Every structure is written in C-alpha cells, then in structure tokens.
C-alpha cells in the first residue's frame, strides 16, 4: 500500500514538473491593469460543486463592474454549468473541451478562483493555459509556478464570497466595487421558469407557507431519513405542509415509509427546475450543501445545519431571513433544528428578499 502511494505521489510530482516546463512562465506584474485595455477576462472554477459555483457569482458581477468593456468567460467543470445560464455577467461558459485552443482567445486577464485553503493544480494549469497577460490567484502550494500575481491567503475570518472577491479587487484596485457586506450569490431566471416552479409547487399540493427539507449532505453532514420525518411531523402538527428533497439515494431511503399528512417526496428534477421549486418554499432547511447556497440565491429563507464546516465562511446567518444551527463535530438534534425553523417561520414572510 505504501509503495503504491509512493508511486502515485511520484507520478503527480513528475506531471507537475512537466507542466511547469511546458506552460508559460509567470511574469512579474508591472503595475495595475488599465481597465480600458482589458477586453477579455477568464474566470476559472473547475471543481464540480454547485455551492462553489454560486459563491463565484458575486465576483463575476465585480468583474463586469471593474472592466465594463470586457467580455467575461467562465471555465467550469460543466456539471452545474446550468447555474450560470442567463447570468448577464457570464458572456460564455467553457468546459475542458475549450482547453486546446484557450490561449488563442486572447485573454488580458485570467483569475484562478480555486479556494484559498488548498492549491488546485487543475485550476492553476487552466489559468496558465489561458496565456493571459495577467494571471491572478491565491498564494498557496505551487501557485507561484503557474500564476504571476499572487494574493495572500486571508488570515482573518471572512465569508467565501468576500474571499473570492479579493482576487477581483487585486485585479482592479482602483475600481468602485460593492463592499463585501453587499455581496450576494445570484440566480437569474429564464423565460417561464419561475412560473413553472409555481405550477409544480401547487401540483404537489403545497402552498406559500410550505417548507422544503433537503435530505442530502456529504459524508459527516448526512442525517438519517428518520430525522427529517420527525421534523416533517412537527411541521404537519403545526399546520404546515412540507416537501422532502434529495437525490436518488435519499428518495430510496424514504421508499415504503409512512409520511406525515401534508408531506410529499419531491420527484427528481433538473437543476433549474429544482431552483424554481425552492423559490416557492416559505423556508428551506438543509445541511451546508449546494441547495443551501441555491436557496439563498433564489431568495428563500434558510435554516442551515453546520456540523463539520465553518459557518462564518459558508453560512448566511449574517443576512436577514437566514439562521444557522452550529453544532461543531456533531449532527444537530431535531429539537435544535426545530427551534431555529419555528423561530424563522414566525418571522413575516414579507421579510424575504425577492430573487
């Protein structure tokens, strides 16, 4: 086993060294960029997670503000690319298929938006492949071998939207950009999407006071289906209806179970249909996962369960209409979640932000 791991580490080191030799060498930045000369920008975010892509959306808006004459393109994994469909700040979405001809597109600026806590070889290589005159990213790992303008990793606690915004602020230090406190994850609707979500919601027998419960969660964040059924039962006894959302595995766990009156299991939906449905909920209860960021982006109040990640970095408790249940290194009890959810539901629905 140790021998195999050693071979794997050696192979990665060899690949990294080869890439360093083949890719354009970093150049020392010569002063700030002239916004008037920046005509094409590449934003790189290659990991395949919905939440991370939504966290990027405020920075795309900052790029459009800083470089109003520039075309902004986003290089992503493709799995959740639909999240940026209709986003006016993303002029084109690219996937790995664009890599062979990336350098021919003539980028003036490329930013590696990989998170600051760990070096991403994929993100750094894609940023270098752009051939951009200025390549910006966080200063961690081997970033200096691929990028020429490095931003120190933040030492203080900050929300992830603010962390990513540092990269744009580095690119445009003189631009009048939104302050960190005003940054919001964004979702933009296509024709008829919002209305179709409302029709779905009614078809399931739900109303404007109904709550969405998301059963998904990675690894230690995952709660048992019985936990959600108990919470759904409390909602039913309080006179509210609820929809249980999840992937195929979560829906399978609910098969054959008796559901409280007024509680439905939502069918499988494509991403944009899922977003349109969530926009009709009175509130969404979810672990720290993609649907949490999605609910915030579409303007639905949330109760957010944090057990193994940092609520100050990924949560939205600082925004009106959102509450965090923080239970470090353990899963929340139903009583704790119910207390937060019940308190949120007593808050007037008119207080929610319009998507």
Quick: pLDDT tens for 52-109: 999 999 999 999 999 999 999 999 998 899 999 999 999 999 999 999 999 999 999 9
Give the strand order in the sheet containing 242-245: 263-265, 242-245, 211-214, 283-287, 302-306, 322-326
User: Could you give the percent of the chain with pLDDT greater than 90?
Assistant: 78
pLDDT reading at 315 higher than 60: yes
Beta strands in 15-139 (DSSP E): 40-45, 71-76, 92-94, 109-112, 134-138
Q: Which residues of 67-92 are buried (b: 16+ CB within 10 A; e: fewer)?
A: beebbbbbbbbeebbbbbeebebbee
pTM above 0.85, yes or no: yes
The per-residue pLDDT for 6 is: 43
Strand partners, 283: 211
Q: Residues 251-295: pLDDT tens digits?
A: 888 877 889 999 999 999 999 999 999 999 999 999 999 999 999
Q: For 46, list phi and psi in degrees, rounded to 5.
A: -95, -15
Average pLDDT, the chain: 90
Q: Is 42 helix (H, G, I), strand (E, B) or coil?
A: strand
- Please tell me the chain's helix, strand, coil percentages from 3-state DSSP, rounded to the nearest 5: 45, 15, 40
Distance CA 209, CA 349 (A): 9
CB 283 within 8 A of CB 353: no
Strand partners, 324: 304
Confidence category of residue 220, pLDDT binned at 50, 70, 90:
confident
Domains of the chain in start order, with CATH, are 29-182 (3.40.50.2000), 193-350 (3.40.50.2000)
R_g (Cα) of the chain, nearest Å: 22
């Amino acid at each position: 086993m140790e021998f195999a791991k050693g071979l794997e580490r050696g192979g990665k080191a060899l690949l990294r060294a080869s890439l360093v030799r083949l890719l354009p060498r970093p150049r020392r930045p010569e002063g700030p960029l002239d916004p008037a000369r920046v005509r094409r920008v590449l934003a790189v975010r290659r990991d395949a997670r919905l939440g991370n892509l939504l966290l990027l959306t405020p920075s795309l808006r900052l790029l459009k503000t800083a470089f109003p004459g520039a075309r902004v393109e986003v290089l992503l994994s493709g799995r959740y690319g639909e999240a940026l469909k209709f986003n006016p700040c993303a002029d084109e979405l690219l996937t790995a298929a664009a890599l062979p001809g990336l350098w021919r597109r003539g980028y003036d600026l490329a930013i590696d938006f990989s998170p600051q806590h760990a070096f991403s070889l994929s993100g750094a290589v894609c940023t270098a492949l752009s051939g951009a005159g200025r390549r910006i990213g966080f200063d961690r790992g081997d970033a200096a071998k691929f990028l020429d303008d490095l931003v120190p990793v933040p030492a203080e606690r900050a929300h992830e939207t603010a962390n990513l915004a540092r990269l744009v602020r580095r690119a445009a230090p003189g631009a009048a950009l939104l302050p960190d406190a005003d940054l919001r994850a964004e979702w933009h609707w296509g024709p008829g999407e919002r209305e179709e979500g409302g029709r779905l919601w009614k078809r399931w027998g739900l109303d404007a006071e109904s709550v969405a419960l998301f059963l998904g969660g990675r690894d230690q964040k995952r709660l048992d289906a019985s936990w959600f059924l108990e919470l759904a039962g409390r909602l039913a006894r309080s006179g509210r209806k609820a929809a249980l959302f999840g992937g195929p595995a979560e829906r399978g766990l609910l098969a054959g179970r008796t559901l409280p009156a007024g509680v439905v299991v939502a069918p499988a939906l494509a991403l944009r249909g899922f977003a349109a449905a969530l926009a009709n909920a009175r509130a969404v209860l979810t672990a720290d996962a993609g649907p949490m960021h999605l609910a915030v982006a579409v303007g639905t109040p949330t109760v957010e369960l944090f057990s193994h990640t940092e609520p100050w970095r990924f949560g939205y408790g600082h925004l009106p209409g959102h509450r965090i249940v923080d239970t470090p290194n353990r899963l929340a009890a139903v009583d704790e979640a119910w207390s937060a959810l019940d308190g949120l539901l007593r808050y007037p629905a008119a207080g929610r932000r319009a998507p």
